[in-house]
Amino acid sequence: MTEKDFLSSSYPNIKNEGKSVWKAPSNIALIKYWGKRENQIPANPSLSFTLSSCATTTSVEYRRLEKGGADFDFDLFFEGNPMESFRPKIEIFLKRIEMYLPFLKEYHFKIETSNSFPHSSGIASSASGMAALALCLMDLEKELDPGMEADFFNKKASFLARLGSGSASRSIEGDLILWGADQEFPKSSDLYAIKYPFGVHGVFRNYQDTILLVHKGQKQVSSTVGHDLMHNHPFSEQRFVQARRNLSRIRPILSNGDLPAFVQLVESEALTLHAMMMTGSPYFMLMKPNTLEIINKIWEFRQSTDTNVCFTLDAGANVHVLYPENEKDLVLQFIKNELVVYCENGQYICDQIGFGAERVMGS
């Protein structure tokens, strides 16, 4: 498929008003996306676990205007309150997707959104937020074009979400999601994410992710700036090659359930992501002292207990602690006894692999 396949020119139906509500999950990348080309085309493919509890619920109420205007017409609420500070981000998103949803200026939208995770927890809500909004808008497009197939609906939702935030493309479906074209992976695409196309060992079923909230403040450097800095980065080309190689290496690991190899690869990906931040120009660092304390404790614990607990990081200081379900009791005890002390206000979130976004309501 190409971008052109997502263009729409005319619709068989008219819809005057309605409402759509979607709950879209967050996701955590095992193979990281860091660096992109024009139009949100990733510099390398990425692979993620879709999460279950960490999610954004978005409701979009739409009403057809008598006369479409020159601007987008929408009101925005976050957790019940008007949220003007989100407006520019949504405007940019709507502008980017307008050519694919040409009806956007013909409607007034009331967009209400809320997160399942604590406000300003440092957990990026852009993936779940953009995915939920893209799905609501796709619901409206489906009302206008009722013949649309489910597969196309999901692909286009991922395609649109990607234009809001790259990783949002991976928050439509579950449980293991691949975004970015790679010849080893049939049907993979730079334009949208797909379900991981090969078999996965049972040990990854219900895989656990406990997110330790180390730093809840605003990040010093946004992902947008971080991606941009990969353009003139001395190691970027090697990094893109390495990410592809890691994607190829994770294939047998996922099918054989080789947890020691999984741990090594996932942690290496996380540290490489942060190494890219620290070796760019200008350099920056998103890890905090407590991030490193936690990493060291995880290494000690893994060695002394023979468990398969490991960590990964996204673009922030929080630590995602990953482990198989059968190690849950032991690891949760360890987290409570030894890691909570490094969390801001002792806060952490227990999550696990999830199966994708859910429609809460559509009419």
Contact flags string 263-302 toward ligand PMV, x per CB under 6 A = ----------x-----------------------------
Strand partners, 358: 23
CB of 85 to ligand PMV, least distance (A): 18
> Which lies closer to ligand PMV via its Cβ, residue 32 or residue 155?
32
CA distances from 78 to 119, 227, 282 (A): 10, 27, 33
CA 228, CA 36: separation in Å to the nearest integer?
7
Count Cα atoms within 13 angstroms, Cβ side, for 155: 16
Q: Is residue 236 a contact point for ligand PMV (CB under 6 A)?
A: no
Pick from 22, 34, 78, 334: which binds ligand PMV (CB under 6 A)? 34
CA 221, CA 281: separation in Å to the nearest integer?
13
> Which lies closer to ligand PMV via its Cβ, residue 61 or residue 175?
175
CB of 165 to ligand PMV, least distance (A): 4
CA 260, CA 222: separation in Å to the nearest integer?
32
Task: Locate 81 and state its tokens.
Answer: 């309150």
CB of 223 to ligand PMV, least distance (A): 3
Contact at 8 Å (CB) between 259 and 203? yes
Q: Could you give the strand order of the β-sheet that contains 310-312, starting from the edge strand earlier in sequence? A: 310-312, 319-323, 208-212, 348-352
> Which lies closer to ligand PMV via its Cβ, residue 315 or residue 349?
315
Stretch touching ligand PMV by CB under 6 A, among 32-40, 107-115, 334-342, 351-359: 32-40
Q: Kindly determine how many residues on this chain lie close enough to bind ligand PMV according to the rule CB under 6 A.
A: 15
Q: Is residue 246 a contact point for ligand PMV (CB under 6 A)?
A: no
Contact at 8 Å (CB) between 214 and 344? yes
CB of 69 to ligand PMV, least distance (A): 30
> Which lies closer to ligand PMV via its Cβ, residue 104 or residue 247?
247
CB of 221 to ligand PMV, least distance (A): 11
> Which lies closer to ligand PMV via its Cβ, residue 140 or residue 191?
191
Q: Is residue 223 a contact point for ligand PMV (CB under 6 A)?
A: yes
Pick from 21, 55, 263, 315: which binds ligand PMV (CB under 6 A)? 315
> Which lies closer to ligand PMV via its Cβ, residue 38 or residue 66?
38
CA 64, CA 266: separation in Å to the nearest integer?
47
Q: Is residue 29 a contact point for ligand PMV (CB under 6 A)?
A: yes
> Which lies closer to ligand PMV via its Cβ, residue 39 or residue 363?
39
Supply the DSSP string of 45-77, one letter for each residue. Answer: -EEEEEEEEEEEEEEEEEEE-SS--SS-EEEEE
Query: Which residues in the 119-178 window bind ligand PMV by CB under 6 A?
Result: 124, 126, 165-167
CB of 127 to ligand PMV, least distance (A): 6
Q: Is residue 30 a contact point for ligand PMV (CB under 6 A)?
A: no
- Dihedral, 220, 222, 228, 230 alpha carbons, nearest 10: 60
Task: Locate 83 and state its tokens.
Answer: 């949220």
CB of 70 to ligand PMV, least distance (A): 29
> Which lies closer to ligand PMV via its Cβ, residue 178 or residue 273?
273
> Which lies closer to ligand PMV via its Cβ, residue 121 or residue 167?
167
Q: Is the peptide bond before 175 cis (omega within 30 degrees of 0)?
A: yes
The DSSP letter of residue 16 is -
Pick from 24, 26, 32, 331: which binds ligand PMV (CB under 6 A)? 32
Q: Is 281 exposed, middle or buried (0-12, 13-18, 19+ CB in 10 A)?
A: exposed
Kindly give the interhelix angle for 87-97 and 150-164, rounded to the nearest 10 degrees: 130
Residues that bind ligand PMV (CB under 6 A): 29, 32-34, 46, 124, 126, 165-167, 223, 227, 273, 314-315
